[in-house]
A and B are shown apart, each in its own frame.
Chain A
Amino acid sequence: MSLETGNPANVPPLEIHDLTVAYRNKPVLWGIDLVAPAGKLIGIVGPNGAGKSTLIKACMGLLPCSSGWVTAFGRPVTQSLKRVGYVPQRESVDWDFPVSVMDVVLMGRYGRIGLFKRPSPEDRRIARDCLEQVQMLPFADRQISNLSGGQQQRVFLARALAQESDLYFMDEPFTGVDAATESAIISLLQGLRSRGKTILVVHHDLPTARTYFDWLLLLNMRVVAFGPTEEVFTPELLQKTYGGRLTILSEVAEAVRGQGSLT
């Protein structure tokens, strides 16, 4: 597909072509190909070590790709980061850091504020608005270490909302979250989806994945299946994703790593 920006309506929000990612020379994702449709809530599921987080990190350019390319809205993803929102795993930051909830949410605005400029009252209004959406406004002035796991997750979500992006990557936003928060988050995501945003969510719980997501990406080091949930949520495909390790693939990966360390 062409890298030039065409008619926005026809350009997919995310296109991945022949993406291979390796950690320390050991491939963890092989030849990923997919074109994500616009305005869908897409779940990424697969067993542990399937490369779910690796995939979204590689999509945003946080990890180097061994081969292949990723485009967002028809342009290389590093050039369209302004339209990309991100909810990292909760454990990725130090929650004892001396900042308030409001400070963290304002960070979502930094990409739009520009280098060396201060957040404007408008940015603060938007940040408050996003906190309101995740029902965390009363906590705006709290230091982040005083929050529960679910509250921390909602702060990260508010920060991503403050980015006002069109394409979202979320890394396990439901871990450590109670049932009530989980359903509040999912309805929030559905609200985003209905406003035409595309959201990719790494998820580890199969039963809820079926009800939460419009589309599913079944991933186990390579794409097992990608399509509307009702089409891909079948016993055969799930068996293919979860059942039985792909012994040959992991053995070859080990071999490649051995070779890499020789060179």
Chain B
Amino acid sequence: MSAAPLGDSTQPFGRRTGSGQRLMGMGLRWAVLFTSAFTAQAAKIGDLTQTRWTEQAWRFVTLSDPVVRYACLGTLLLGISCGLLGSFLVVRRMALLGDALSHAVLPGVALGFLWNLEKDPLAIFIGALLAGLAGSATVSILTRTTRLKEDTALGMVLASFFGLGLCLMSMFQRLPTGNKSGIETFLFGQAAALGPGDIQVMGAVTLVVVGLLGLGYKEFLLVSFDPGFARVLALPTVWFERLLVMLLAFAVVSALQAVGVVLVSAMLIIPAATASLLTDRFHRMLVWSSCLGMISGLSGAFLSFLGTRLPTGPFMVLSASLLFALALLFSPRQGIVPRWYRQRSQRVRIERENTLKAIYQVLESDGFASETITVAALTARRRLALAAVEAEIRSLVAVEFATASGDRVALTPSGWQRACAIVRNHRLWELYLTHAAQIAPDHVHDDAEKIEHVLGEAMVRELERRLPRIDTDPHGRPIPSLPASMAGAHLGAGGAGDRPVGYGGRS
């Protein structure tokens, strides 16, 4: 399972347990994280195969265990608040702010612990909130008073606050007294460590976030889209901006324990990014984003619960990324697969229409004297290999545009109608180009080859309206009129052959 590489990667660092400070001095931040979070559990992670994961899964699904209930509730709540605020970050192109804010809270978490050397949700919440707000204030002071750009300021604050937090935490872990269990859960998250106090804090935060965003939806939308215009409307833009950062800090801090400092920004960004692939309206994006956040949160909690003391954050982020990948592939409008399918079916349609047109042209070349044509004549007209033409004929027969018997092909009424329409589109467009755009008649054919397939009903009517006469194309060939009447005329000329219905079947 995915736990195996995790276990492996902890091994090299496991030997360096005592040298945390030296590692930090070298700036190996990840090494430190893995050391502090996993050293104690490294052996247990390796035992994953021995834990009875079916039993654990059953414990999770039945919600019989209060630990599971708290974990589920907590991840659902954080999914909502992170999803909502992440949407704002994504549309405002401020994704880095979430990252900076989440790392900046670490010293606050450490100080919250120091408060009474216990895991007191409220003390940690307040400490983290203050640190986060101090971080965002530092960013805004740096950008206002220096020439530094915002991304530089964010990067600096992220790193320096996080570094301070790591220093504080490694110091506390050496304190002789106090219950230090659980401090490491703040790095990678442990949904199973959520208690009733945490749930109360998270519930209150989610309530505040949902309430304020619901109340001020239109103001937050305007301030995000066009702050200058918002100020001309005498909106207290600055206050809405501050409120948004405040809510963001709330959401980050409340999600800390379940997701962990390192990955909480991913829970802000990924569900929102997924939502933006699924819709192009902001209110729907908010709904999608919070639903995706809840799904990722819950499945992350579930997966991490299967093993023993697996961190929750990485699994949540993996679930969120998986959902993103699914949306990237299958989202109806922008998904890769639907787009590929649309292009492919368009290509098939164009080929089919080209074959219909070729059949029409062969029929036309002998003055519509016959109602069937030979495959050989069609092959010559299409300038394709015999096998390819036969495949195209089969495809036409499959959609009942043509019938084939022996080496002869005939159009059905619907096929005839479609063929007339396509030839008419082609010749109308050639006529329009030579007439309205004054392009030489020998230059218009290639363009019409493409346009004939995309001209819609309305466009054809427009062309008819704009052209003075629409009986002959620039090359002197007649333009077929509306299929029904043309077909009728033709039916009178020839006789019905082996076709079940004549060309004029549709009257």
Contacts and interface: CB of A to CB of B under 8 A. Distances in A.
Question: A and B from one assembly?
Answer: yes
Interface of A: 57, 60-62, 78, 81-82, 84-86, 88, 92-94, 97-100, 103-104, 107, 110-111, 113, 115-116, 118-119, 143, 145, 159, 163
A119 B215 CA distance: 13
B228 A92 contact: yes
Contact of A98 (B230, B235, B281): B281
Contact of A86 (B218, B219, B232): B232
Nearest to A107: B222
A102 B93 CA distance: 23
Nearest to B240: A115
Given A104-B225, A110-B233, A163-B233, 19 more contacts: A60-B231, A62-B228, A85-B232, A86-B228, A86-B229, A86-B232, A88-B228, A93-B226, A97-B225, A98-B279, A98-B282, A98-B285, A99-B281, A99-B282, A100-B281, A103-B281, A107-B222, A110-B230, A115-B216
A118 B231 contact: no
A108 B221 CA distance: 13
Contacts of B232: 60, 62, 81, 84-86
Contacts of B282: 97-99, 103
B215 A88 contact: no
Contacts of A84: 232
Nearest to B214: A116
Contact of B93 (A94, A98, A119): A94
A78 B231 CA distance: 10
B234 interface: yes
Contacts of A98: 91, 276, 279-282, 285
30 contacts: A60-B231, A78-B234, A84-B232, A85-B232, A86-B228, A86-B232, A88-B228, A88-B229, A93-B225, A94-B93, A94-B225, A97-B225, A98-B91, A98-B276, A98-B281, A98-B282, A99-B221, A99-B225, A103-B221, A103-B281, A103-B282, A104-B225, A110-B219, A110-B222, A111-B233, A111-B234, A111-B235, A113-B218, A115-B235, A119-B218
A263 to B, nearest CB: 13
A145 to B, nearest CB: 8
Nearest to B232: A86
Contacts of A86: 228-229, 232
A79 to B, nearest CB: 9
Contacts of B230: 110
Contact of A118 (B93, B218, B225, B235): B218
User: Which of B91, B233, B235 has most chain A Cβ within 10 Å?
Assistant: B233
Contacts of B219: 110, 115-116
A257 to B, nearest CB: 13
Nearest to B234: A81
Contacts of B233: 81, 110-111, 163
A100 B281 CA distance: 7
B292 to A, nearest CB: 15
Interface residues of B, number: 25
A145 B216 CA distance: 25
A42 to B, nearest CB: 18
Nearest to A119: B218
A110 B91 contact: no
A115 B233 CA distance: 11
A82 B224 CA distance: 21
A111 B233 CA distance: 5
A82 B232 CA distance: 8
Contacts of B224: 97
Nearest to B236: A115
A252 B226 CA distance: 34
A61 B226 CA distance: 15
Contacts of B93: 94
A143 B226 contact: no
A107 B280 contact: no
A1 to B, nearest CB: 23
Contacts of A107: 218, 221-222, 225-226, 229
Nearest to A104: B225
Identify the 9 closest CB pairs spanning chains A and B, nearest first.
A111-B233, A143-B280, A81-B234, A86-B232, A98-B282, A98-B280, A93-B226, A116-B215, A97-B225
Interface string B370-413: 00000000000000000000000000000000000000000000
Contacts of B276: 98
A103 B221 CA distance: 10
Contacts of A94: 91, 93, 225
A93 B282 CA distance: 15
A183 to B, nearest CB: 22
A103 B280 CA distance: 12
B93 to A, nearest CB: 7
A138 to B, nearest CB: 12
A101 to B, nearest CB: 12
Contacts of B226: 88, 92-93, 107
Interface string B75-114: 0000000000000000101000000000000000000000
Nearest to A96: B91
A110 B228 contact: no
